[in-house]
Amino acid sequence: MNALRLLVIVTALVLSGCASSPPAGTGDLGVVIERANGTVAVINTTDRRIVGEVAGLGDLSHASVVFSRDGLFAYVFGRDGALSKVNVLTRRIEIRTQQAGNSIGGAISQDGRYVAAQNYVPGGVKIFDARTLALVADVPAVVDGKPSRVVGLADVPGGRFVFSLFDAGQIWLVDMQAGPDPAHPKVTRFPDAGKQPYDGLVTPNGRYYVAGLFGEDGLALIDLWDETPSVRKVLSGYGRGEAPLPVFKMPHLRGWAIAGRYAYLPAVGRHEVLVVDTETWSEVDRIAVAGQPVFVIARPDGRQVWVNFAVPDYDRVQVIDTVCHQVVRTLEPGAAVLHMEFTPRGEAVWISSRDAHRVSVFDTEHFATLGVLDLPSPSGVFFTARAARIGF
């Protein structure tokens, strides 16, 4: 009897040993949001294939993802306020917490210890332990007794997070390392940042935070290297007094649109990309494009900037050459392009076409189609290389 039991145990051990897969890295993995069915697809950028799916993630309209610094965990921020920690190798949801009623994205701290979520309902930012998703700090964005929706949350060096208050027109800087207790981080408020900031970005060096303004022509800029940082308005009046065109989708600034010393930014209500010198923060050029730009993203080496558009011009993607400041290519990857993501060193770009139900992979040098993956209503595409970048 005992011998039989031993045999069963030994057999089980041997079998489980055989079944375990060889050690694998995550550097060429990523996730694609399937926005309509609460699922993310885990993809491999070397093989250009879907390696599996993770379901049960809730309302993923406007979902976004940040990665743990080991590239193993994807933190998925759902519209419904749920935050899920997904293991991209086992493709299991490790932890899931309902942290708010309506959420719009998040960030991970420089040291990887904290994950922060920016929320519309209730307005504010919640900061979690990245390992356990236990709540560490709650920062309600309340100004004059009124809660504000939060946008443009990004990590900045020094264990800080920065974000904008859409309703209150302010920018707040949260320092997790300033005091003895991370539950009560130091909050620096910048009032009068501008009317209706809609999103923000941090430059690759972590020096500047730029918030785009919807309610006025211009951008709010903070130099975080200043001893006492302050907000200043740049590019005021870039609309030149002309009536704005309808904006059918709010542009996104998240991620870098910085190539060399120039920033490439979507003009609001104009079918143009603004080229801004980041030494002087003045406009040096503007490039006419096919529609209202939504994402304006630099290839990692900065040689190209890729632009997608709001409805009804969202079947196209345009490529700007950053040397000649001209559109050099217009691609039509499929109906309703929502997002673009470059492979870590930029030889390929993955583009999601929501209504064509596919993600297309293009060679960024010759624009050949390298692959097409069928996925239902794909939106955001996020690769694990984001783990190593400031502001992602």
Partner 1 sequence: MKLMHRLTAAIGARRAWMCFPLLTLAATAAMGGDAFAPSPQREQKLVRMVRQDCGSCHGLQLTGGLGPALTPAALRAWSADNLAATILHGRPGTPMPPWSTLVSADEAEWIARRLLEGFPQEGTVVR
**Residues 73, 75, 163, 214: which binds partner 1 (CB under 8 A)?**
214
Residue type at 246 in one-letter notation: P
Return d(Cα 31, Cα 378) in angstroms, integer.
Answer: 10
Q: What is the DSSP string of 4-65?
A: HHHHHHHHHHHHHHHHSPPP---TTEEEEEETTTTEEEEEETTTTEEEEEE------TT-EE
Choose between 13 and 121: whose C-beta lies nearer to partner 1.
121
Choose between 185 and 293: whose C-beta lies nearer to partner 1.
293
**Residues 32, 45, 71, 79: which binds partner 1 (CB under 8 A)?**
79
Return d(Cα 265, Cα 200) in angstroms, integer.
Answer: 11
Size of the site for partner 1 (CB under 8 A): 40
Part of the chain binding partner 1 (CB under 8 A), chosen from 91-99, 237-245, 270-278, 297-305: 237-245
Return d(Cα 122, Cα 138) in angstroms, integer.
Answer: 11
Q: Is 299 in the site for partner 1 (CB under 8 A)?
A: no
Q: Is 323 in the site for partner 1 (CB under 8 A)?
A: no
Choose between 118 and 384: whose C-beta lies nearer to partner 1.
118
> In the numeric block, which tokens belong to residue 223?
């130099």
Q: Is 249 in the site for partner 1 (CB under 8 A)?
A: yes
Q: How far is the CB of 136 from partner 1 (least distance, A)?
A: 25
Part of the chain binding partner 1 (CB under 8 A), chosen from 136-144, 259-267, 301-309, 374-382: 374-382
Of 49, 101, 104, 52, which Cα lies nearest the Cα of 76? 104
Query: How far, rounded to the nearest angstrom, does the alpha carbon of residue 315 sit from its chain's CA centroid?
Result: 21
Q: How far is the CB of 245 from partner 1 (least distance, A)?
A: 9
Return d(Cα 334, Cα 89) in angstroms, integer.
Answer: 30
Return d(Cα 93, Cα 73) in angstroms, integer.
Answer: 9
Q: Which residues bind partner 1 (CB under 8 A)?
A: 35-37, 59-62, 79-80, 102, 104, 120-121, 149, 151, 166, 196, 198, 214-215, 217, 239, 241-244, 246-250, 311-312, 336, 354-355, 357, 374, 376-377
